[in-house]
C-alpha cells in the first residue's frame, strides 16, 4: 500500500468519529512512515496519542497487506509513560485504533501493577503494542534473551518526555534506547513533550547528540493556541492575611462560589498532605458536598483513583482536590475550572494544570490562583505575566550519572552478559555519557568486578564476573535477584501499605510519618480517621475511628524552585510596588498594607537596591538577604556567603532558604559592614569557594543517598519482606562517612558533589545573580523586629542547612542536651 | 583522652574510642564492634571501602595499649554476621594481644563459641562481678549496676541559633551505663536525656560530660497578623 492509501484509512476513521485530523497529526504520520525519528511538541488533550498510534498501525498494515486475516505476532512498538496510572487510558485509545481498522493486533501493559502470571504470558508471547514505564523497560532488558523481544520492534514512543528528561529516569531511557537501537534495525524513536524552554535539546537527548537517529529526525510542533485566563483570589482583608504558611485555608470560603459556578472544579495542591487537609476542611465547613467531592493523589489506592477519574468523566463530581497525580494524561472534558492552591513554582506546570480545564477545542481555560500567604500574591502577579508572555522554563538533562550507568551495566550482566567494547560504543552516543573518558569507563568496570580499583587480600566482594572470552556476567542468583528488586531510579522514602486489620487496602504512606505514631494514635488518611494498630511486614494495620485528630498524614515530596524566568518576573512585580498605582497589578495593589508594614522597619527594594536585614530574637541573630532569585540560587548563594563569612572568624550558621531570599542564623552577630567591605559577594573564586562550602554543608551528603541506592551500594530491601528504610537511611549516611574517610576519590562519592553543583546549586544562574547584585546598591537595615519579608524564612524549622568553621569542641561548650519537661 | 567516673565505689575511665576501663579489676569493656560488617556488605555486592576494615583493629589495639588491661570483655556484637575472611584478620589480631578475652554474647554473635574457644576467648551470656552485671542488652536487676551495649547510644546537643549536633555517648542512669558502639560503620541511635541521667559524649579525641538543660516544651511561633 502506498502512503496515500494508508492515509485514507486513517482519515476515514477520523471522519467516522466526525473529527478532522490536525496538521501536526498528519505531519507526524508522514514522518513516521518515512522511517524518521522525532519529537512531537503537543499538549495533553490535543490528540497526541492518535498522532503516533496511527502510523504505528499503518506501518504494520503496510508491511502485512493481509492484516485483516492474518496476524503476524511479535512486539512491534513500545509506548513509554512516566506514570503507570496513565497506561489504561493509553491502552484504550490504542485498542480503539487497532480494532476499528480491523487488525488483529494486541495491546498489553507491563508495569509494577502487572501480575506475575501476565508477565510470564507476555514473556512467551509479547503483545504487538506494549505500554510500559522506564523501570519496567529496564526489567525487560534484565531478562535472558531480551534481544529476541526487541528484534522486530519498529518504534519506541516516549510519552511526556519533558517529565522524564531532567531526571535519572531520563538517563535510564537514554541507555535503554542506546541498546535497542543496536538490536532493532528498523527502530524509530519518538518523544512527545509539552512545551519546555529547551525543546531542541530534548530531541538531542532522546535521540543521541550527533547520532544517525538525530540526523534522520524532525521536530513537529502542534501549535494549538489555547486561551488561558489566570485569576488571582485576592483576600478581602489583607490585614488579617498571614505572612507565612503553605495551606491557604484562610481563603477556603472564596473557593466555594467558584466550585458552585462550574460543572467540575479541580483543586490542585502542591503536596499530598495539603490535599488531605483541604479535602477534610471543605467537607467540615460544607457538608453539603459530601458525595459530590473526592480526593486524588498518588498514595491512594488504584481502585479509588480510577473511580475518581471515571466519576470526573461522567460528571459525577462537583470538585476534586488533587496533586500532580492529575497533571498528566487523562482527558477530563467536564472540568470547567481549575484552582491552583499555593505557588506552582513553574510556568510549565501551571500551564499544564490550567490546560486541564476547558478541554474542548476553542474553549478557554480558566485557572484561579489561591495564595497561601501574602508574599505569594507577588508570585500570582508574576504568573499572570508569564502566561501572557509564554515564558517557559528548561528541563536540564543529567550528565555523567555513574550510578545509573553502573545499574544498567549490572542489568546487562544479569541477562545476556555484555562485552565492554560493544557497550562503550553505544553509551558514548548518548547525551548523558558523551564526554565519558576511557579512564572513567575502566574505573566503572573495575568497580563492578572488584568493588574497588585493585584486588585486595581478604576481600570477598562479589557482583559481576568476567568470563574467559571477556564477557561480563552475573552468575550468582542472589546478586541477580537483589538487582532486579533494585532496578528503578526514583528513590523515595519507603512506602508502607495502609490496610484495615480485617483486610482492605486503603493506600500507601511513607515510613517517616508512621514512625512518629504510637499504638492508638488517630490520624487522617485518604479522607478517613484511622486508628494506628501496628506495623506488620511493611503493612500498617489500622481501624476506623470516630475520634477527632489533628494528625494528618504527610509526605516529604520533592522541593520545587522558581525558574530563572519566573524569578525575574517576580522581581519586576515586586519593584512595581514603588511605582504609580496604575502600573501595578491588582495583586500588588492588594498587598499595600504589607508593604506599609515592611517599610516601617525596612524597605521594599527598588531595582537598583539589594536588601539586607538584621535583627535579634530569642533564637539568635538573624541576617537576611533578598536576591529574589529562586530557592536553588539562594541555597548556593547562602552557602557561598556563609562560607566566606566563616573564613573571617570561627562561626556557625543555620541557613534557611525560600524563593525570595535566604537567612543566616547564628549565635553571634555578623558585622554586615565587614561583609560589604570585604566584598564577599564577589564573583572571584566563586567556583572554588562554592566547592569548599559544599564540604562545609550537608547537601552532597543527601544527594549521595540516591547515588548509593541507584548504584546498588545500599540495598533497599525486598518489597513486603520487612527490611526497613531506617536501616538503609543510616547506612547510606554511614557509607558517606566511610567514603569520605577512606575512598574520597570514588567516582560515585564525587558524583554526589557534582550533582549538587549542577542540579541544585545552578552555578550558572548564581554567577548571573552575583553579576546583577554587583550593579546594585547594598541597603543594610538594622531592624528592631522581624519584617513581613523575613517572616517565612525565620519561621522555617524543617529544611535548614548547617555550616560551621568553629571547632566541634568550641561549639559544644555553648550547647546542652535538652530534657523535655512534660 | 579519658574521663574518670566513680560507680559503686569503684573507679572507671571512659576512653574517647568508646571503651570503658575498670581500674580496680584492670578490665577493659568494649561493646558493639561489629567486626566483619564491611566484608559482609561487600560479599553481598555493596562496595563499602575495604580500607575501612583495618580501622577497627587499629582502634582496639590503641585502646588496649593505652590501658594495658589484664582482661578485655566484649559486651556483645563482636562480629556482625556469619564467618567471613575478617575472622582470619581477627585471629591474627588476637595473637598480638596478651590480655585475657571474654565475649558476653549479643544478638549478632552467631559464630560458634567453639571457634572462639580455639583462639582462647570465653563466650558467656552474662558476667556478674561483685555488684556489677555485664550484659549485651540493657537490663534492670535489683541490687546490680548494669553495663551493656546494643543500643549504640548518641545524644543530641542544641544551642542558640538553631544549632544542633549529634554525638555517640556513654549513657548513664542510676543503675545502668550503656556503652557507645566501638566499631566503624555501625551507626547510632539518638537517646533523649532522662531525669537523673548523665551523658558523656565522644568528641573524636576526648570524652565530654554533656550539660543537660530542662526545657518546658517546644517553643512555637504563634500565628501573627499584621
Please, which pLDDT band fits residue A332 given cuts at 50, 70 and 90?
A: low
Nearest CB to B158; choose among A462, A483, A816:
A816
* A793 and A698 in a common domain: yes
Residue B53 forms contact with A (CB below 8 Å): yes
* A713 and A688 in a common domain: yes
Q: Which residue has the cell 517517616?
A: A512
- % of chain B surpassing 70 pLDDT: 96
Residue B85 forms contact with A (CB below 8 Å): yes
- Which residues are CB-contacts of A125 (< 8 A; sequence separation ≥ 6)? A73
- % of chain A surpassing 70 pLDDT: 91
Task: Give chain A positions within 8 Å (CB) of B155.
Answer: 817
- Mean pLDDT in residue range A787-813: 85
**Residue B216, in any domain of the structure:** no
Residue B216 forms contact with A (CB below 8 Å): yes
- Determine the residue of chain B that is closest to A729 in CA distance: B187
* A649 and A767 in a common domain: yes
- Three-state SS letters, A322-348: ECHHHCCCCCCCCEEEEEEECCCCCHH
What was the pLDDT predicted at B220?
42
Task: Give chain A positions within 8 Å (CB) of B158.
Answer: 815-818
DSSP structure class, residue B179: P
Residue A810 forms contact with B (CB below 8 Å): no
Residue A451 forms contact with B (CB below 8 Å): yes
- The CB-side HSE value for A699 (13 A sphere, CA atoms) comes to 28
For residue A559, is pLDDT > 50?
Answer: no
**Residue B221, in any domain of the structure:** no
The minimum CA-CA distance between A187 and chain B, rounded to whole Å, is 35
* A46 and A144 in a common domain: yes
How many Cβ atoms from other residues are within 10 Å of residue A290's Cβ?
8
Closest alpha carbon to A376 in A342, A423, A335: A342
Backbone angles phi, psi at A423, to 5 degrees: -70, -35
- Mean pLDDT in residue range A471-479: 92
* A511 and A378 in a common domain: no
CA distances from A701 to A367, A753, B152, B225 (A): 39, 8, 22, 38
Q: In what order do the strands lie in the sheet with A228-232?
A: A228-232, A365-370, A335-341, A264-268, A319-322, A293-296
DSSP structure class, residue A760: I
Question: A739, B51: Cβ pair inside 8 Å?
Answer: no
- The CB-side HSE value for A630 (13 A sphere, CA atoms) comes to 24
Q: What is the CATH number of the domain that holds B78?
A: 3.60.21
Asked whether A184 and A150 are in contact (CB, 8 A), the reply is yes
Q: Which residue has the cell 541555597?
A: A635
Question: B45, A795: Cβ pair inside 8 Å?
Answer: no
What was the pLDDT predicted at B65?
97
* A237 and A205 in a common domain: no
Task: Give chain B positions within 8 Å (CB) of A698.
Answer: none
Question: A619, B162: Cβ pair inside 8 Å?
Answer: yes
Residue B44 forms contact with A (CB below 8 Å): yes
* A280 and A250 in a common domain: yes
Counted domains in chain A: 5
Question: A815, B217: Cβ pair inside 8 Å?
Answer: no
Q: Which residue has the cell 524532525?
A: A218
Task: Give chain B positions within 8 Å (CB) of A666.
Answer: 161
- Which residues are CB-contacts of A480 (< 8 A; sequence separation ≥ 6)? A414, A474
User: What CA dihedral angle connects A566, A567, A573 and A575, to 10 degrees?
Assistant: -160
- Chain A, 485 to 544: residues with Cβ < 8 Å from chain B are none
For residue A725, is pLDDT > 50?
Answer: no
A514 three-state secondary structure: helix
Question: End of a domain among A340, A359, A389?
Answer: A389
DSSP structure class, residue A758: I
Question: B225, A667: Cβ pair inside 8 Å?
Answer: no
The minimum CA-CA distance between A817 and chain B, rounded to whole Å, is 4
Cell (9 digits) for B84 = 567471613
Question: B216, A821: Cβ pair inside 8 Å?
Answer: yes
Cross-strand pairs, B190: B154
Closest alpha carbon to A752 in A802, A695, A804: A695
DSSP string across A337-400: EEEEES--S-HHHHHHHHTTS--STTPPEEEEEE-SSTTHHHHHHHHHHHHHHT-----PPP--
- Determine the residue of chain B that is closest to A597 in CA distance: B226
Of the listed ranges A227-241, A406-420, A513-527, B88-102, the one predicted with least confidence: A513-527
The residue range of the domain holding B164 is 2-209
What was the pLDDT predicted at A380?
86
**Residue A486, in any domain of the structure:** no
Q: Which residue has the cell 475518581?
A: A308
Closest alpha carbon to A427 in A229, A172, A252, A605: A172
- Determine the residue of chain B that is closest to A709 in CA distance: B46
Closest alpha carbon to A286 in A307, A255, A314: A255
Question: A821, B45: Cβ pair inside 8 Å?
Answer: no
* A417 and A358 in a common domain: no
CA distance B56 to B35: 7
- Mean pLDDT in residue range A599-609: 94
- Which residues are CB-contacts of B187 (< 8 A; sequence separation ≥ 6)? A730, A731, A733, A734, B152, B181
- ipTM score here? 0.88
Question: A809, B201: Cβ pair inside 8 Å?
Answer: no
Residue A31, judged by CB atoms within 10 A of its CB (0-12, 13-18, 19+), counts as buried
- Determine the residue of chain A that is closest to B160 in CA distance: A667
pTM confidence score: 0.84
Closest alpha carbon to B35 in B58, B14, B16: B58
For residue A729, is pLDDT > 80?
Answer: no
Task: Give chain B positions within 8 Å (CB) of A817.
Answer: 155-158, 193, 199, 210-213
Tens digit of pLDDT for each residue in B118-144?
999 999 999 999 999 999 999 999 999
Backbone angles phi, psi at A467, to 5 degrees: -80, 170
How many Cβ atoms from other residues are within 10 Å of residue A108's Cβ?
20
Measure the CA angle with vertex B173, ends B170 and B176; round to 5°: 80
The number of C-beta contacts closer than 8 angstroms across A and B is 183
Nearest CB to B160; choose among A461, A667, A742:
A667
- The CB-side HSE value for A266 (13 A sphere, CA atoms) comes to 34
Name the percent of chain B in helix, strand, coil, to the closest 5: 20, 35, 45
Question: A462, B224: Cβ pair inside 8 Å?
Answer: no
Residue B225 forms contact with A (CB below 8 Å): yes
**Residue A397, in any domain of the structure:** no
Q: Which residue has the cell 495551606?
A: A247
**Residue B220, in any domain of the structure:** no
* A99 and A119 in a common domain: yes
Question: End of a domain among A161, A193, A221?
Answer: A221
Closest alpha carbon to A566 in A387, A373, A375: A387
- Determine the residue of chain B that is closest to A666 in CA distance: B161
- Mean pLDDT in residue range A667-680: 94
Question: End of a domain among A205, A221, A237?
Answer: A221
> What are the helix (H) ranges across A208-247?
212-215
Of the listed ranges A309-313, A515-519, B143-147, the one predicted with least confidence: A515-519
The most distant pair of C-alpha atoms in chain A lies apart, rounded to whole Å, by 85
Residue B114 forms contact with A (CB below 8 Å): no
What was the pLDDT predicted at B112?
92
The minimum CA-CA distance between B67 and chain A, rounded to whole Å, is 24
Question: A447, B224: Cβ pair inside 8 Å?
Answer: no
Asked whether A491 and A710 are in contact (CB, 8 A), the reply is yes
**Residue B85, in any domain of the structure:** yes
Q: What is the CATH number of the domain that holds A261?
A: 3.40.50.300
**Residue B40, in any domain of the structure:** yes
Question: B160, A712: Cβ pair inside 8 Å?
Answer: no
Please, which pLDDT band fits residue A552 given cuts at 50, 70 and 90?
A: low
Question: B163, A243: Cβ pair inside 8 Å?
Answer: no
- Determine the residue of chain B that is closest to A655 in CA distance: B162
Residue B206 forms contact with A (CB below 8 Å): yes
Looking at mean pLDDT, say which of A233-247, A545-559, B20-34 comes out highest.
Answer: B20-34
The minimum CA-CA distance between A618 and chain B, rounded to whole Å, is 8
- Mutation choice for A interface testing from B1, B35, B50 by most A CBs within 10 A: B50
Task: Give chain B positions within 8 Å (CB) of A451.
Answer: 42, 45, 47, 50
Cell (9 digits) for A238 = 489583607
User: What CA dihedral angle connects A39, A42, A45 and A50, to 10 degrees?
Assistant: -40
No. of H helices and E strands in chain B? 4, 17
What was the pLDDT predicted at A727?
42
Residue A796, judged by CB atoms within 10 A of its CB (0-12, 13-18, 19+), counts as middle
CA distance A321 to A771: 42
Q: What is the mean pLDDT of chain A?
A: 86
Nearest CB to B158; choose among A735, A746, A815:
A815
Closest alpha carbon to A28 in A40, A17, A14, A16: A40
CA distance B165 to B186: 18
Task: Give chain A positions within 8 Å (CB) of B45.
Answer: 451, 461-463, 479, 482-483, 712
Task: Give chain A positions within 8 Å (CB) of B192.
Answer: 819-820
**Residue B21, in any domain of the structure:** yes
CA distance A281 to A250: 11
**Residue A480, in any domain of the structure:** no
The minimum CA-CA distance between A743 and chain B, rounded to whole Å, is 6
* Pairing status of strand B176-178 against strand B163-172: antiparallel
**Residue A515, in any domain of the structure:** yes
What was the pLDDT predicted at A374?
85
Please, which pLDDT band fits residue B103 given cuts at 50, 70 and 90?
A: very high
* A411 and A321 in a common domain: no
What was the pLDDT predicted at A360?
61
* A169 and A103 in a common domain: yes
- Which residues are CB-contacts of A635 (< 8 A; sequence separation ≥ 6)? A655, A657, A662, A699, A760, A761, A801
Please, which pLDDT band fits residue A624 given cuts at 50, 70 and 90?
A: very high
* A372 and A299 in a common domain: yes
The residue range of the domain holding A209 is 3-221
**Residue B219, in any domain of the structure:** no
Task: Give chain A positions within 8 Å (CB) of B196.
Answer: none
Q: Which residue has the cell 551470656?
A: B125
> What are the helix (H) ranges across chain B?
37-43, 53-67, 86-95, 113-118
Reported as type and span, the H/E element at residue A56 is helix A48-63
For residue A311, is pLDDT > 50?
Answer: yes
CA distance A753 to A743: 14
**Residue A152, in any domain of the structure:** yes
Measure the CA angle with vertex A706, ends A702 and A710; round to 5°: 160
**Residue B224, in any domain of the structure:** no
Of the listed ranges A541-550, A627-636, B162-171, the one predicted with least confidence: A541-550
Question: A818, B213: Cβ pair inside 8 Å?
Answer: yes
CA distance A140 to A151: 13
Counted domains in chain B: 1
- Three-state SS letters, B9-46: CEEEEEECCCCEEECCCCEEEECCCCECHHHHHHHCCC
What was the pLDDT predicted at A407?
95
Amino acid at each position: 500500500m502506498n502512503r496515500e492509501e494508508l492515509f485514507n484509512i486513517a482519515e476515514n476513521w477520523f471522519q467516522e468519529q466526525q473529527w478532522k485530523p490536525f496538521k501536526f497529526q498528519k505531519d507526524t504520520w508522514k514522518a513516521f512512515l518515512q522511517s524518521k525519528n522525532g519529537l512531537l511538541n503537543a499538549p495533553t488533550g490535543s490528540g497526541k496519542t492518535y498522532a503516533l498510534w496511527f502510523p504505528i498501525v499503518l506501518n504494520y498494515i503496510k508491511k502485512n497487506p493481509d492484516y485483516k486475516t492474518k496476524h503476524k505476532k511479535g512486539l512491534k512498538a513500545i509506548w513509554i509513560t512516566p506514570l503507570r496510572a496513565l497506561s489504561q487510558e493509553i491502552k484504550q485509545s490504542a485498542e480503539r485504533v487497532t480494532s476499528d481498522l480491523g487488525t488483529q493486533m494486541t495491546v498489553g501493559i507491563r508495569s509494577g501493577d502487572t501480575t506475575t502470571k501476565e508477565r510470564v504470558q507476555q514473556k512467551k508471547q509479547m503483545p504487538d503494542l506494549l505500554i510500559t514505564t522506564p523501570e519496567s523497560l529496564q526489567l525487560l532488558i534484565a531478562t535472558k534473551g531480551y534481544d529476541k523481544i526487541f528484534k522486530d520492534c519498529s518504534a519506541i514512543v516516549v510519552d511526556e518526555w519533558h517529565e522524564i528528561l531532567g531526571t535519572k529516569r531520563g538517563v535510564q531511557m537514554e541507555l535503554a534506547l542506546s541498546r535497542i537501537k543496536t538490536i532493532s534495525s528498523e527502530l524509530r524513536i519518538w518523544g512527545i513533550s509539552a512545551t519546555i524552554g529547551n525543546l531542541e535539546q530534548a530531541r538531542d537527548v532522546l535521540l543521541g547528540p550527533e547520532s544517525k537517529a538525530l540526523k534522520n529526525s524532525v521536530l513537529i510542533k502542534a501549535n494549538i493556541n489555547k486561551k488561558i485566563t489566570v485569576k488571582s483570589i485576592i483576600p478581602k482583608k489583607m490585614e488579617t492575611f498571614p505572612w507565612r504558611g503553605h495551606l491557604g485555608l484562610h481563603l477556603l470560603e472564596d473557593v466555594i462560589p467558584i466550585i458552585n459556578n462550574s460543572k467540575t472544579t479541580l483543586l490542585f495542591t502542591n503536596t499530598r498532605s495539603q490535599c488531605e487537609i483541604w479535602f477534610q476542611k471543605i467537607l467540615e465547613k460544607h457538608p453539603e458536598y459530601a458525595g459530590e467531592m473526592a480526593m486524588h493523589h498518588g498514595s491512594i489506592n488504584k481502585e479509588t483513583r480510577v473511580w475518581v477519574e471515571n466519576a470526573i468523566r461522567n460528571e459525577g463530581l462537583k470538585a476534586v482536590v488533587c496533586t500532580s497525580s492529575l497533571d498528566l494524561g487523562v482527558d477530563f472534558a467536564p472540568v470547567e475550572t481549575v484552582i491552583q492552591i499555593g505557588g506552582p513554582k513553574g510556568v510549565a506546570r501551571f500551564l499544564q494544570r490550567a490546560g486541564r480545564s476547558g478541554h474542548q477545542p476553542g474553549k478557554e481555560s480558566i485557572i484561579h490562583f489561591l495564595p497561601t500567604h501574602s508574599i505569594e500574591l507577588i508570585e500570582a502577579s508574576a504568573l499572570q505575566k508569564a502566561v501572557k508572555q509564554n515564558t517557559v522554563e528548561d528541563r536540564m538533562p543529567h550528565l555523567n550519572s555513574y550510578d545509573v550507568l553502573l545499574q544498567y551495566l549490572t542489568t546487562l550482566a544479569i541477562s545476556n552478559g555484555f562485552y565492554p567494547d560493544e557497550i562503550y560504543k553505544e553509551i558514548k552516543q548518548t547525551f548523558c555519557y558523551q564526554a565519558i573518558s576511557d579512564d572513567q569507563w575502566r574505573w566503572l568496570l573495575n568497580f563492578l568486578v572488584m568493588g574497588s580499583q585493585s584486588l585486595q587480600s581478604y576481600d570477598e566482594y562479589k557482583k559481576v564476573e568476567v568470563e574467559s572470552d571477556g564477557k561480563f556476567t552475573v552468575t550468582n542468583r542472589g546478586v541477580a535477584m537483589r538487582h532486579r528488586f533494585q532496578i528503578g531510579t526514583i528513590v523515595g522514602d519507603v512506602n508502607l501499605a495502609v490496610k484495615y486489620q480485617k483486610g482492605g487496602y486503603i493506600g500507601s504512606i511513607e515510613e517517616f510519618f508512621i514512625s512518629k505514631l504510637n499504638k492508638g494514635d488517630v490520624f487522617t488518611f485518604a479522607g478517613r480517621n484511622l486508628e494506628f494498630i501496628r506495623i506488620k511486614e511493611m503493612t500498617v494495620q489500622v481501624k476506623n475511628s470516630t475520634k477527632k485528630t489533628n494528625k494528618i498524614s504527610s509526605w516529604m515530596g520533592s522541593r520545587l524552585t522558581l525558574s530563572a524566568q519566573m524569578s525575574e518576573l517576580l522581581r519586576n512585580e515586586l519593584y512595581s510596588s514603588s511605582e504609580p498605582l496604575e502600573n501595578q497589578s491588582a495583586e500588588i495593589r492588594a498587598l499595600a498594607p504589607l508593604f506599609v508594614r515592611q517599610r516601617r522597619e525596612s524597605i521594599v527594594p527598588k531595582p537598583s537596591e539589594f536588601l539586607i536585614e538584621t535583627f535579634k530574637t530569642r533564637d539568635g541573630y538573624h541576617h537576611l538577604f533578598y536576591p529574589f532569585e529562586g530557592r536553588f540560587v539562594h541555597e548556593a548563594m547562602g552557602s557561598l556567603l556563609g562560607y566566606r563569612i566563616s573564613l573571617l572568624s570561627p562561626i556557625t550558621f543555620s541557613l534557611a532558604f525560600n524563593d525570595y531570599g535566604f537567612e543566616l542564623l547564628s549565635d553571634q552577630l555578623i558585622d554586615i559592614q565587614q561583609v560589604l567591605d570585604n566584598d564577599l559577594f564577589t564573583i572571584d573564586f566563586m567556583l572554588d569557594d562554592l566547592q569548599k562550602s559544599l564540604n562545609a554543608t550537608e547537601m552532597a551528603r543527601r544527594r549521595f543517598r540516591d547515588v548509593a541506592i541507584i548504584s546498588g551500594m545500599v540495598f533497599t530491601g525486598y518489597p513486603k519482606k520487612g527490611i526497613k528504610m531506617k536501616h538503609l537511611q543510616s547506612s547510606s549516611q554511614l557509607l558517606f562517612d566511610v567514603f569520605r574517610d577512606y575512598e574520597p576519590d570514588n567516582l560515585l562519592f564525587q558524583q554526589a558533589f557534582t550533582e549538587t553543583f549542577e542540579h541544585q546549586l545552578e552555578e550558572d544562574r548564581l554567577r548571573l545573580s552575583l553579576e546583577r547584585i554587583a550593579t546594585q546598591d547594598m541597603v543594610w537595615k538594622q531592624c528592631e523586629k522581624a519584617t513581613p519579608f523575613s517572616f517565612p524564612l525565620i519561621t522555617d524549622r524543617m529544611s535548614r542547612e548547617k555550616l560551621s568553621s568553629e571547632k566541634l569542641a568550641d561549639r559544644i561548650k555553648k550547647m546542652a542536651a535538652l530534657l523535655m519537661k512534660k | 583522652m579519658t574521663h574518670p567516673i566513680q560507680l559503686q565505689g569503684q573507679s572507671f575511665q571512659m576512653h574517647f574510642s568508646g571503651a570503658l576501663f575498670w581500674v580496680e579489676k584492670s578490665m577493659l569493656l568494649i561493646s558493639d564492634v561489629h567486626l566483619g560488617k564491611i566484608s559482609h556488605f561487600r560479599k553481598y555486592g555493596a562496595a563499602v571501602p575495604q580500607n575501612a576494615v583495618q580501622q577497627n583493629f587499629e582502634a582496639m589495639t590503641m585502646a588496649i595499649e593505652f590501658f594495658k588491661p589484664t582482661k578485655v570483655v566484649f559486651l556483645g556484637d563482636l562480629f556482625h554476621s556469619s564467618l567471613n575472611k575478617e575472622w582470619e584478620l581477627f585471629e591474627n589480631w588476637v595473637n598480638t594481644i596478651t590480655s585475657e578475652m571474654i565475649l558476653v554474647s549479643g544478638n549478632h554473635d552467631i559464630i560458634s563459641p567453639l571457634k572462639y574457644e580455639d583462639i582462647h576467648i570465653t563466650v558467656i551470656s552474662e558476667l556478674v562481678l561483685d555488684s556489677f552485671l555485664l550484659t549485651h542488652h540493657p537490663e534492670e536487676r535489683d541490687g546490680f549496676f548494669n553495663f551493656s551495649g546494643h543500643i549504640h547510644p548518641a545524644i543530641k546537643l542544641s544551642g542558640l541559633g538553631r544549632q544542633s549536633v549529634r554525638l555517640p555517648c556513654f549513657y548513664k542512669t542510676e543503675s545502668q551505663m550503656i556503652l557507645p558502639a566501638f566499631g566503624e560503620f555501625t551507626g547510632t541511635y539518638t537517646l533523649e536525656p532522662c531525669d537523673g541521667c548523665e551523658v558523656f559524649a565522644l568528641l573524636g579525641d576526648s570524652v565530654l560530660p554533656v550539660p543537660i538543660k530542662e526545657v518546658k516544651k517546644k517553643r512555637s511561633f504563634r500565628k501573627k497578623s499584621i
